[in-house]
Amino acid sequence: MPFAEVVGHARPLGLLSRSIARGSLPPSLLFTGPQGVGKRLVATAVAQALNCLSAPGGRRAASAGKGRAAASAFPRDACGRCAACRRIAKGTHPDVLVVEPPDVGATKIDLVRPAIAATAYRPFEGRFRIVIVDEADRLTDDAQAVLLKSLEEPPPASVFLLVTAWPETLLATIRSRCSRVRFGPLSAGDVVRVLTERHRFDAAEAHAIAAVAGGSPGRALEAGSKAFQDARQAALAVLRAAARTASPRARLQAAIGLVAAKSSAASERDALETRVTLMASLLRDLALVGQGGRESDLANGDLARELDELSSAFGSDRALRAFSAADRAVAALRRNASSKIVSAWLSSRL
């Protein structure tokens, strides 16, 4: 996908485009930011811009619209239509190597070595050989050590793009060898546009999902999945337990359900962040119900009956205090706080 078609991220996109046009793109880049906001998508766009077969001048985003760096020029951008662009998008270009994490567990050295070895040779077809390491935080120490050797002495005509929501888990030596490009969450309006224009969501449904997505289209897309529904039900169960009893032990026991077992502390924190964010959305709705708000204004309108039942136990003031606690819990998780400690603290504030 060319830069001009990426929703949001105008500043990093412009920076990358100008660097490519000037020939000053660093050989190693670290893309950081919240999960699901489009970092991997932009990494693919960089690979296309570097190896596009069209004229080097790229094209303008004159018709990009709001949220897509409207009316700004990308000095270098891919056409998105040539054979190279299409193959990069499909993941079949020989000069664009993607290191994907396994479904479960860490990314081990055997998954990294083939891509590293390929960079010792000249590109087969394109101008550059690009290595994209997705979810780089899941690399084992051995895999990071192998990668570090290439980052210290980058092979000619090679670019390394490391994508992660958890840069602190990488070795300090790797972070120091990479130029960091920071991505922020998208606006709710941009998330709605991604859902409606590219994934054919109904507008009303897209607005409801965007309200709890935290600026992440990836998280928004999960909203229709069983995992997302299970996460919301887990958050709702904790609120029901808090409404039924004032016992700290009972609340703590209920809060255990918020912590989903994951393969690593980082992914466990991310799963808990999702559940606490959903809980915050439910608490916001409870406050709205307590103040006599309209059902059409609820972010979780499909749970209107359940929320109405809970509102008598919570009330507007309690729901707002709990919402504030949930917001603080999310902030703590983003600072790498312990999932179990955060969930226990939050249970005491409900």
CATH number at residue 25: 3.40.50.300
Same domain, 77 and 56: yes
Same domain, 169 and 263: no
Same domain, 43 and 100: yes
Same domain, 146 and 211: no
Same domain, 76 and 144: yes
- Count: domains in the chain: 3
Model-wide pTM > 0.75: no
The amino acid at 48: Q
Which pLDDT does position 260 carry in this prediction? Answer: 64
Same domain, 64 and 97: yes
Of 160, 125, 135, 164, whose CA–CA distance to 146 is shortest?
160
Q: Which two tokens stand for residue 299?
A: 């972010």
Is residue 205 domain-resident? yes
Q: What is the mean pLDDT of residues 286-293?
A: 87
Is residue 118 domain-resident? yes
Is residue 237 domain-resident? yes
Is residue 8 domain-resident? yes
Same domain, 318 and 334: yes
Contact 47, 15 (CB under 8 A): no
Residue-wise pLDDT for 332-341, tens only, equals 988 888 888 9
Which pLDDT does position 28 carry in this prediction? Answer: 97
Same domain, 178 and 245: no
Is residue 211 domain-resident? yes
Is residue 220 domain-resident? no
Q: What is the mean pLDDT of residues 77-93?
A: 94
Confidence of residue 116 (pLDDT cuts 50, 70, 90): very high
Same domain, 237 and 148: no
Is residue 236 domain-resident? yes
Contact 67, 187 (CB under 8 A): yes
Q: Which two tokens stand for residue 301?
A: 């309108």
Read off φ and ψ for residue 312, nearest 5 degrees: -65, -30
**Between vectors from CA 286 to CA 285 and to CA 288, what angle results, nearest 5°?**
65
Buried b (16+ CB within 10 A) or exposed e, 309-347: ebbeebebebbbbbbebbeebbebbeeeebbeebbbbbb
- Give the range of the structural domain holding residue 242, as residue numbers without chain letter: 225-348
Residue-wise pLDDT for 221-255, tens only, equals 876 566 677 888 889 988 988 888 878 777 777 77
Residues facing residue 340 across a β-bridge = none
Which pLDDT does position 56 carry in this prediction? Answer: 59
Among candidate residues 215, 233, 265, the one where a domain is terminated: 215
Same domain, 196 and 284: no
Which pLDDT does position 71 carry in this prediction? Answer: 35
pLDDT at 169 over 90: no
Of 39-43, 54-58, 126-130, minimum mean pLDDT range:
54-58
Is residue 40 domain-resident? yes
Same domain, 204 and 123: no
Same domain, 253 and 343: yes
